[in-house]
Amino acid sequence: MVIVITGVTRGLGRALAEEFIAAGHTVVGCGRSGEGIIDLRFSHPAPQDFAVVDVTQMTKVELWADRVIGMHGAPDFLINNAALMNNPAPLWQVPVAEFDKLMAVNVGGVANVVRAFVPAMIKRGQGVIVNFSSGWGRSVAAEVAPYCASKWAIEGLTKALAEELPAGLAAVPLNPGVIDTDMLRQCWSGEASSYPKAATWAKAAAPFILGLGPKQNGQSVSVGDHE
């Protein structure tokens, strides 16, 4: 299968890419880190395909998607993982620029990637869009209001998208669970190390994601559900 993943250079995206590649799938990924993308290209040559892309820039996302679809066809799975966390603070203390950048990546970036890839998936008549939500997309916590808002937005955006898709496709908001990543350490440094590492998480998460399909269209799911 062809699996497109955003935010592929570190954290959950990198761990998923490694797991999917090990299972024999073709991973097409993007990230903002040029160093991370070069590392992936050296570690995983063709048919794996990695590019530096800022998902907040629609023109760049379109150019990337056109090249990917031309080379690999419409993806079987489109995984929107790229996201930012705000520095913990009460909402009124979060700088405007930090808030706007987070929303541009976490919400706008998902919409841009959907715009660029989903028409080809519709034309093909199949495919699954997995938009990463969070436990904080279904609950809240103090000092992470911008992140909570963005993930609640992903829940609503994905469920509405699910209503718009034709038969054979699915859009699923996925809570990956709590994993020890740089993002978790940014907001919860004292307890992050008590949670599973991304590579361990991916061994269960990768097959779980590949099991998602039209039956889960529009459903809020979490890694490990129905196991």
Is residue 17 in some structural domain?
yes
Is residue 122 in some structural domain?
yes
Cβ partners under 8 Å of residue 18, min gap 6: 199, 202
Is the pLDDT at 153 greater than 50? The verdict is yes
Count of domains for the chain = 1
Is residue 129 in some structural domain?
yes
Is the pLDDT at 8 greater than 60? The verdict is yes
Is residue 201 in some structural domain?
yes
Closest residue by Cα to residue 82 from 105, 52, 65 = 105
Average model confidence (pLDDT) for the chain? Answer: 93
226 band by pLDDT with thresholds 50, 70 and 90: low
Query: Mind listing the pLDDT tens digit for each residue in 83-108?
Result: 999 999 999 999 999 999 999 999 99
Query: Mind listing the pLDDT tens digit for each residue in 135-152?
Result: 999 999 999 999 999 999
- Active site residue: 50, 77, 147, 152, which one? 147
Is residue 44 in some structural domain?
yes
Q: Concatenate the DSSP letters of all residues of the chain into one string.
A: -EEEEES-SSHHHHHHHHHHHHTT-EEEEEES-HHHHHHHHHHS-TT-EEEE--TT-HHHHHHHHHHHHHHH-S-SEEEE-----PPS--GGGS-HHHHHHHHIIIIIHHHHHHHHHHHHHHHHT-EEEEEE--GGGTS--TT-HHHHHHHHHHHHHHHHHHHHSPTTEEEEEEE----B-HHHHHHHTTTGGGSPBHHHHHHHHHHHHHT--GGGTT--EETTTT-
Query: Mind listing the pLDDT tens digit for each residue in 180-220?
Result: 555 545 555 555 455 567 888 999 999 999 999 999 999 99
Q: What is the pLDDT of residue 227?
A: 46
Is the pLDDT at 132 greater than 60? The verdict is yes
Is residue 114 in some structural domain?
yes
Percent of the chain with pLDDT over 70: 91
The enclosing domain of 204 has a CATH number of: 3.40.50.720
Is residue 211 in some structural domain?
yes
What pTM does this model have? 0.93
Is residue 227 in some structural domain?
no
Higher pLDDT, 199 or 118: 118
Residue 195 annotated in active site: no
Closest residue by Cα to residue 83 from 216, 173, 1 = 173
Average pLDDT over residues 60-69: 98
Parent domain of 81: 2-222
